[in-house]
Amino acid sequence: MKQKFTVEGMSCVNCSAAVERAVKKLDGLGSVEVSLLGKSMVCEFDENKLTAKKIINTVNKAGYRASLYGEKSEGKSKFLSEKTRLISSILILLPLMYISMGDMMGIPTPHVLHEYPLVSAAIQLALALAVAVINAKFFVNGFKSLVKLSPNMDSLVAMGSSASFLYGIFSMIMLSVGLSENNAELVEKYSHGLYFESAAMILTLVTVGKMLEERAKTKTGSAIAKLSKLAPERSIVIRDGKEVEIASGDIVCGDIVVIRPGASIPVDGIIVEGHSEINEAALTGESEPRFKTVGDEVMTATVNLTGAFKMEAKKVGGDTMLAKIIELVENTSASKAPVARLADKVAAVFIPIVTTIAVVTAAIWLIADYPFDFALSNAISVLVISCPCALGLATPVAITVAVGKCASEGILIKSAEALETLHKTDIAVFDKTGTLTKGHPAVTDAFAYGCEEKELLDIALSLEDKSEHPLARAVCEYARANNAALRESSDFEAIGGRGVSAAIENIRYFAGNAAYMSELGIDISGYSEKLEKLSREGKTVMFFANGEGLLGCIAASDEIAEDAEKALRMLDELGVEAVMLTGDNKLSASATAGRLGITHVISGVLPGEKGSTVTSLIEGGKTVIMTGDGINDAPALTAADVGIAVGAGTDIAMESADIVLVKNSLTDIARAIKYSRSVMTNIKQNLFWAFFYNAICIPIAAGALYPLWHITLSPMLASAAMSCSSIFVVANALRLYKK
């Protein structure tokens, strides 16, 4: 059987990997998919060998909190939130830095701290311990990972901070000895050898990075909730020959549902009486409504625009198209693995090496008959100088700068993983309607045949003014922009799927498609060439006539987004292939693609197929980004390596995406890719420096120069060097502001 669980307490990719490793050891487990972003886990297992309760217990023993999906976890979080920890740590760190380093910075400190150095040491220890308690998760998770021989960044943090604590406590002991023996030299030496501020600083700085990871999580759960709310809560059905209002969830297959103008459709079904124009943009992305009549299928969450009709419920609950889209969003969220942190990858090698060097350093000096404090000082210098501050800051600081810079330019990046992945983009997939196009039709051509153009526009405005059809609104906008006069009309009639008619100044006028003209007996054969040409261009043609014959025609199409062509050129220069993915028919899609210069077009794609289409591109070994704005794009946005939503799109599209283009400018996609490449270069530089610094400084800290030149690196200098490496990394990251 397949069971979904909620998993709390995961803060990084190592956490989700740890959960997965723990569960995979269980006998009877078939497969497991852990979603860090969705805080969930889907397990397929043999219920004869394994139970959900045992899976939950296994996850809990691994240090996390699991529960059946939809139920509340019985466990409580042991740790404070990232934001609370950071603020609390900073508030405690400031007085600690003042006490420990005030004199060095030229800031006077209370005389009592100089007169009683042990009091100063005790206060520093208490403040540092407070920071350590606030950030206990680093020690718990870090040392737990060490015990399991799978060290991560928390392990580096725990060891670096613990090394400073250890030396600080050792210094306090030696300070006490100096005071008891009235040894002023010893007191002076160790009163300045308290590195509790280093321990607190390590924890605080790394918490900044952890907070960034916490903020980077997407709102997939919120998107799913909004999808569910698209269907109306209550509907009208016919029971015992009477119309009865019931909860939409109580509709069963076979029920006859009454749909009135302006109402959302609650279930999937077939029209059995009446006809209407249906806006299916929510599910199909089509900008123009579709005429539906008896025998046609209608879907949940689409909107009835004009007429009233009755439908028979065929699919309800989890079987509807809307429910399938929700399921796709959930599944792709669960199966999409976040990008692993480079620093975490090297930690498994770095920590054992550093630990071994520290132990060997102490052993060698002791064997060489040097004092214990000399051997211990060198060993701890190794640990302090190899503290992961620079390593831990290398990625998050660069990402912080990048996210801030992009936000100032209208590019909201919701996950660090997206920023890291974006630089590898091979294929950029675009939804057509509302993304590459403006999402609403506009008049492109107007041809008058039996009258002057001014007369044609006057008639068109007067005819279409009472219609709510999107094409009618486009015609009216165009007519008004060209100073058309609105004339009084009467006896207005809308013919579903055909057009409209009305009496203007006692003359009957008609507007509609070619089929409507044919039904009226109006000859348009002389304009077949023009009609074919406009159709090939993906335009919709509306004819206008009266009883005497054709007056003219007006063509409209969904206009290309203003910067779409420029954006595609920029992507081409970056070596990124553009692909159009749309639910539109092949003719319309090809026409739009031709205008944009896109050669790879995937048309006629159903809502449930968009996500799988993107997945198939990824399975071809390509890094794929997806840009869209509609609800039907949500599965594709979550399936893509990076999902990008335009700012004018639906909330669901934006919450399912990793990046949001606030200004609706598609050129920002290329800019984001360029910036991602700069960021990744910067991160690699930072990581190189962090390891180069360690490669040079660790041997010096171990005392490699002492036998020849009597040069050692005290823990204080080691701490200073460690701080310098962090400053270098931050300064290098700040250069991104100039990009």
> Which pLDDT tens digit goes with each residue over 255-304?
999 999 989 999 999 999 999 999 877 665 556 788 899 999 898 888 89
In the numeric block, which tokens belong to residue 289?
């409504």
Instruction: Please check the confidence at residue 148 and state whether its pLDDT lies above 90.
Output: no
pLDDT at site 651: 57
pLDDT at residue 413 above 70?
yes
H-helix or E-strand spanning residue 696: helix 667-702
- For domain 439-560, the CATH class is alpha beta
Tens digit of pLDDT for each residue in 362-376? 999 999 999 876 887
According to the model, what pLDDT value does residue 217 have? 41
* Local structure of 510: helix, strand or coil: strand
Percent of the chain topping pLDDT 70: 81
Residue 389: predicted pLDDT: 57
pLDDT computed for residue 332 by the predictor: 40
CATH code matching the domain that covers 414-426+562-662, chosen among 3.30.420.40, 3.40.50.300, 3.40.50.1000, 3.40.47.10? 3.40.50.1000
Q: For 450-496, where are the E strands, in sequence order?
A: 489-495
Q: How far apart are CA 587 and CA 526, in angstroms?
A: 23
Residue with token string 């997206």: 418
212, two tokens: 């960034």
Element (H, E) at 48: none
Residue 649 pLDDT:
53
What is the model's pLDDT at position 584? 66
Q: Which pLDDT band holds residue 551 (cuts at 50, 70, 90)?
A: very high
Q: What is the pLDDT of residue 630?
A: 63
**Residue 15: predicted pLDDT:** 67
CA-to-CA separations, 331 to 282, 534, 661, in angstroms, rounded: 20, 42, 25
* Pairwise CA distance, residues 612 & 622, whole Å: 14
Q: 26-69 pLDDT, tens per residue?
A: 999 988 878 765 678 889 999 889 999 999 999 888 777 889 87
- The one-letter amino acid code at 509 reads Y
User: Which residue, 638, 632, 630, is CA-closest to 659?
Assistant: 638
In tens, the pLDDT along 165-209 reads 887 888 898 888 888 888 888 888 778 767 788 778 778 877 765
pLDDT of residue 196: 85
The pLDDT of residue 333 is 43
Q: If you average pLDDT over residues 438-459, what whole number do you get? A: 88
For the chain, what's the residue count? Answer: 739
What's residue 537's pLDDT?
A: 78
Cβ atoms within 10 A of the Cβ of 44, count?
Answer: 12
pLDDT tier for residue 580 given thresholds of 50, 70 and 90: very high
CB within 8 Å of 403: residues ≥ 6 apart = 212, 413, 416, 419
**Mean pLDDT across 7-36:** 79
pLDDT-derived band of residue 729, with 50, 70 and 90 as boundaries?
confident
Tell me which residues are annotated as active site.
431
- Residue at token pair 């526009």: 457
Per-residue pLDDT band for 235 (boundaries 50, 70, 90) equals very high
Considering the domain 2-68, what is its CATH architecture?
2-Layer Sandwich (3.30)
Residue in 168, 169, 170, 188 with CA at minimum distance from that of residue 178: 188
Q: Is the dihedral of CA 143, 149, 151, 156 positive or negative?
A: positive
Q: Look up tokens 């005819």; give the residue.
A: 463
Q: Please state, for a pLDDT cut of 90, what percent of the chain lies above it.
A: 27
DSSP helix, strand, coil percent of the chain (3-state; round to 5): 55, 20, 25
Q: Which two tokens stand for residue 661?
A: 């283009």
Give the three-state DSSP class for 244. Answer: strand
Domain boundaries, the chain: 2-68, 232-271+287-319, 346-410+674-739, 414-426+562-662, 439-560
Contact 267, 251 (CB under 8 A): yes
Which helix (H) or strand (E) segment holds residue 382: the answer is helix 372-385
Residues 128, 110: Cα–Cα separation, whole Å: 19
Give residue 666's Cα distance to chain centre: 17
Residue 99, C-beta contacts closer than 8 angstroms, at least 6 positions apart: 109, 113, 120, 123, 124, 127
Distance CA 577, CA 428 (A): 6
For the beta sheet containing 29-35, the strands, ordered from the edge strand earlier in sequence to the opposite edge, are 29-35, 40-45, 2-8, 65-68
Architecture of domain 232-271+287-319: Distorted Sandwich (2.70)
